[in-house]
Structure 1
Amino acid sequence: MIIPLNIPVHEFFNDEELVAFSLANPELSIERDEEGQLFINMTPTFAISSSNNSELITELGIWNRKHKAGRVLESNGGFFLADSSMRVPDVAWIKLERWNALSMSEKKSFPHLAPDFIIELKSETDSLADLQSKMNKWIENGVRLAWLICTDQQLTYIFEPGKPTYTLKFEETLSGGIVLNQFSVRLSDILEF
């Protein structure tokens, strides 16, 4: 269950205070939208969602280890975005040159950076419309490729800057395109649904 707290964060939490609040509440998954509203997830992930997320991270991690192209981050890594939001994707990937440009203090916090690639995995309690809106926000803030994976529909919504959103069925091969060169996966081979 995600609880939206209608707290104008710009009045109560600057970025450093939001980091401190997150550190003081490690059991919570906290996000902030561009309007300053906090979203707090207090429910643990169901086993199937956790397993599917692990499979996605593993696939990306194997590709990344082979190509040494960047860094893979799991579902606890947050990012401050240009629109003043702080978002946490289920999976993120940052190109190596951009990762190396971060200072160690940025790496030990939520960097002011949009990942190059993100995945959101829709759970049973998520609203598709809300997640699609969130995906568009990721793209508007600089993400170059984003996948919204919906196991209930067995569809992946693909978002890229300047292109209309399109879908692929789980039996079809997803490609990382120019963002994740030579990365491809067929979700029907790795996910349970």
Structure 2
Amino acid sequence: MTALTLNLNSVIKLTREQFYQLCQENPDLKLERNAQGELIIMPPTGGETGKSNSHINAQIWFWNDQNQLGEVFDSSTGFTLPSGADRSPDVAWVEKSRWDALTKEQREKFIPVCPDFVIEILSPNDSLIKTQKKMQEYIENGCRLGWLINRKKQEVEIYRPGQDVEVLKSPQILEGEDTLPGFVDKLFRPRLGIKL
């Protein structure tokens, strides 16, 4: 099952609060909204994708727990980007000063910032082109580093502001660079299904 996109703009243009309420009233649906206001209904992931997501999220969480440089979020967290899009990356990290600047109310709803770091893991039914566009959207909205993990092709696409996308084939390690200083995942490949 692939993601479905609904264009309701000719019927109703949802405000940020209405979209948030729609998500709260339909907790069994994973919903995103692009900058044009179209609703995207995301299907659940399969076991391998979910396992990979859990492993990499745990690695980022452990790194952050040791360094205390920000906050880590899972795929159920909504972010309202400056463009107006509402997205839920598979893994997200927000630098501490940006998180601390948010009010309690802002923290309770969809977070009104673009994460500093995101990971999207391509599910077998995901569109590569649409996911690549989503990664570009994160970068255009202020994300400093993004990884698109394509288990099927054994690739990781690395997104950085002002640079061409770097594609790594069966990488030995992934590094957090200046965004996640000191983060190195040497056990990355076996956990995410990337093989030699």
TM range (shorter): over 0.9
Cα offset, 1:110, TM superposition: 0.5
Q: Please name the residue that 1:119 is paired with.
A: 119
Letter in 2 for 1:166: E
Deviation, 1:62, is: 0.8
Structure 1 residues 55-70: aligned runs within 5 Å? 55-70=55-70
Write the letter of the residue equivalent to 2:21: A
Correspondences of 1:37-186 after superposition (within 5 Å): 37-41=38-42, 43-186=43-186
How far the C-alpha of 1:184 sits from its partner, in A, is 1.2
C-alpha spacing 1:10/1:177, structure 2 compared with 1 (3 Å): farther
Structure 2 segments unaligned to the other structure (5+ residues): none
TM-score by length of 2: 0.94
Q: 1:7-46 counterparts in 2 under 5 A?
A: 7-8=8-9, 11-41=12-42, 43-46=43-46
The Cα of 1:9 is off from its aligned counterpart by 8.4
Structure 1 segments (4+ residues) deviating >2 Å: 9-12, 169-172
Structure 1-normalised TM-score?
Answer: 0.95
Cα distance in structure 2, aligned partners of 1:110 and 1:93: 14
What is the Cα deviation at residue 190 of structure 1?
2.3
2:179 corresponds to 1:191: no
Kept after mapping to 1: 8 A contact 2:156/2:171: no
CA distance in 1, matches of 2:16, 2:69: 29
SS in 1 for 2:22: helix
Per-residue CA shift, 1:77-136, capped at 9, x if unaligned?
A: 111111111111000000111111111111100021001000000000011111111100
Q: Measure, in 2, the Cα distance between the counterparts of 1:88 and 1:19.
A: 13
Give 5+ residue unaligned stretches, structure 1: none
Counterpart-to-counterpart distance in 2, 1:159 and 1:9:
34
